[in-house]
A and B are shown apart, each in its own frame.
Chain A
């Protein structure tokens, strides 16, 4: 019989709540209060998340974000700045000692990305894991991923691009040199793709989530059952949202 993991479908939430839920589930799983958990979610309003080690001022056009009502938040995972606009985001929380999770961090990236690769395959898109933390289709990036490990628990979250507006992306992300902005935009257009670009049509959020669910079930030989956040997780989410992710000190700490 297959192992049963929890599936959370939390819909569209703001950046602070989204990051707080991932952290709350991670804490909850580390205390053995909930099973391994896969979550699918979106961002409303659109938002930028920056990596744990990045400088907010270096990476984000804060004035433009404020004008366009785009949120910005620091993640607890490393990696780069991401503009979350048209995408499905996933997260997985699982114990470091689970037999499916390698002690080797890069190997575990590959394994978890394997679920996304299978999920994309379910909607007719061929892709491969491209270390360090990308998934590419026809040589172009379609997914970026980031992992942290705390209290013997792994959290990996990542994006699956459904559509890309590179011009909008570079209006809110800082570029190192304004003079090469046009070149950078055309480079990124050549290096990044999306589900819509590959399939030539829009696929609904729910359809992509269903394919990803199957992808996780196939990769890890598990059954995902639809669950909800526990009361404790909801309380932790509120706490992390207020005390951490929406706070000036956290977001401007570097």
Chain B
């Protein structure tokens, strides 16, 4: 199912998620993360998009997965955080 969300990160920037997920398995097929935030290095967002494929759309699972990708790839956000991306993705289900 293709869906979108727009989420204003508290004290941060505007996050827009375009998501394609499998309703039966509750897993992400693919997603695009856009918005006016900053990420260092910028390629970090593409890494997150790639690594979230096939991940189950549950709050805790998503949050932990995003945190581990950020830590492993030393990604730094300004105006965005793991919680924000998790919330943006979960909003796509509502």
Listed in ascending order, the chain A residues whose CB lies under 8 Å from chain B are 51-55, 58, 76-81, 105-106, 132-133, 146-150, 176, 254
Cβ contact within 8 Å between A254 and B36: no
* In the complex, per-residue mask of B31-45: 1 if CB is within 8 Å of any chain A CB, else 0: 011111111111001
Tell me, in angstroms, the Cα distance from A52 to B36 when the chains sit together.
Answer: 8
Rounded to whole Å, the gap between the CB of B50 and the closest CB of chain A is 14
A55-B34, A176-B6 given; name 18 further pairs at CB < 8 Å: A52-B42, A53-B36, A53-B39, A53-B42, A54-B35, A78-B36, A78-B38, A79-B36, A80-B36, A105-B38, A105-B40, A105-B76, A105-B78, A132-B13, A132-B78, A148-B40, A150-B41, A254-B32
Cβ contact within 8 Å between A58 and B34: yes
| Contact A132 B33, CB 8 Å, known A148-B42, A176-B6 | no
Interface residues in B1-60 (C-beta closer than 8 Å to A): 6, 12-14, 16, 32-42, 45
Cβ contact within 8 Å between B35 and A53: yes
B45 to A, closest residue via Cβ: A53
Cβ contact within 8 Å between B78 and A54: no
Which secondary structure dominates where chain A touches chain B?
Answer: loop
| Size category of the binding interface on chain B | 20 to 34
A-B contact count (CB 8 A): 55
Task: Give the residues in chain A near B13, CB-CB below 8 Å.
Answer: 80, 132
Cβ contact within 8 Å between B41 and A51: no
Rounded to whole Å, the gap between the CB of A179 and the closest CB of chain B is 16
A54 to B, closest residue via Cβ: B34
Cβ contact within 8 Å between B16 and A55: yes
Tell me, in angstroms, the Cα distance from A147 to B76 when the chains sit together.
Answer: 13
Tell me, in angstroms, the Cα distance from A120 to B67 when the chains sit together.
Answer: 41
Tell me, in angstroms, the Cα distance from A105 to B79 when the chains sit together.
Answer: 12
Q: Which of A78, A79, A176 has the most CB of B within 10 A?
A: A78
Rounded to whole Å, the gap between the CB of A158 and the closest CB of chain B is 13
Tell me, in angstroms, the Cα distance from A77 to B40 when the chains sit together.
Answer: 10
Cβ contact within 8 Å between A76 and B35: no
B34 to A, closest residue via Cβ: A55
B14 to A, closest residue via Cβ: A80
Closest 3 CB pairs of A and B: A80-B36, A78-B38, A55-B34
A147 to B, closest residue via Cβ: B38
Q: Choose from B32, B34, B39, B79 the contact partner of A132 (Cβ within 8 Å).
A: B79
Tell me, in angstroms, the Cα distance from A106 to B40 when the chains sit together.
Answer: 12
19 pairs of residues in contact across A and B, judged by CB atoms under 8 Å:
A53-B33, A53-B34, A53-B36, A53-B39, A53-B45, A76-B42, A77-B38, A78-B37, A78-B38, A78-B78, A79-B36, A79-B38, A80-B13, A106-B78, A132-B13, A133-B38, A133-B78, A148-B40, A176-B6
Cβ contact within 8 Å between B41 and A254: no
